[in-house]
Amino acid sequence: MIGSLWFNSFSAGGGGAAGDYELIATSFGTGSSGSVTFSSIPAGYKHLQLRFTAIATAGNPYMGIRLNGDSGTNYAYHYLMGTGSSVLSNGATGQTSAINLGFIAGINTSIPTAGIADIQDAFQTTKNKTVRTLNGNTGELVLSSGVWINTVAVTSVNAFLQSGSFTTSSRFSLYGLKG
């Protein structure tokens, strides 16, 4: 039989049973700050995931991610960016406060940039920390990977703009994945 199928029946709202993908916290932009930090992250997970929709109050600043408040030259990243007409690839080492970990597209003032950043093995103390991101709006689409040259457990995640502030419509949610 050929046709269309329609479904209207769903599970009950809210979270389900205890599981392996848990919400740690959600934070919103204030309109007056270009920085959002999740601190005192519990260590009962294997990986972390940051999901966000970000809008800037001005310009098209890039967004960075910083771990444990480290502003030293301990980050490197590489990215693949599509602009709709060209594909760019670049990277940098020894990064501090520019685009520290992963390269996140310029944040438009009216159209959200949405993204997912996965912080792998965030609590393992035998390896440096790798982050991969997929993020974009309709002006830029970015795949990136970054590394924080430090083996300590991640205890805080900071998302920040190069300039300007996150609007109050900006949303950041941090999740923990068990493993």
Partner 1 sequence: MPNAMVALATTTLGSTASSVTFGSIPATYRDLRVIVNCAVTAEGNIQLQVNNDTGNNYGQLRFSGYAGSSINSTATTTTSVVTNVATGMQTSSRGLNIYDIFDYAQTDKQKVILCKGYHSDELDVISARWANTSAITSVKVLAGSNFTVGTTISLYGIVS
Which residue(s) pair with 118 in the sheet? Answer: 49, 132
Shortest reach from residue 125's CB to partner 1, in Å: 24
Select 75 or 176, whichever has its Cβ closest to partner 1: 176
The Cα–Cα gap between 134 and 144 comes to 7
- Least CB distance to partner 1 at residue 143 (A): 6
Closer of 110 and 125 to partner 1 (Cβ): 110
Q: Please, what is the minimum distance in Å from the beta carbon of residue 59 to partner 1?
A: 18
Smallest distance, partner 1 to C-beta of residue 53, A: 5
Q: Which of 81, 54, 87 is nearest to 143 (CA)?
A: 81
CA dihedral 47, 50, 51, 53 (to 10 degrees): -170
Cβ-based nearer residue to partner 1, 141 or 153 = 141
Joined tokens for residue 86? 């060209």
CB contact at 8 A, 22 and 44: no
Residue with tokens 């444990």: 68
Q: Which is nearer to partner 1, 92 or 134 (CB)?
A: 134
Residues at the contact surface with partner 1, assessed by CB under 8 A: 1-11, 13-23, 26, 51, 53, 55, 80, 82-87, 111-116, 134-141, 143, 169, 171, 173, 175
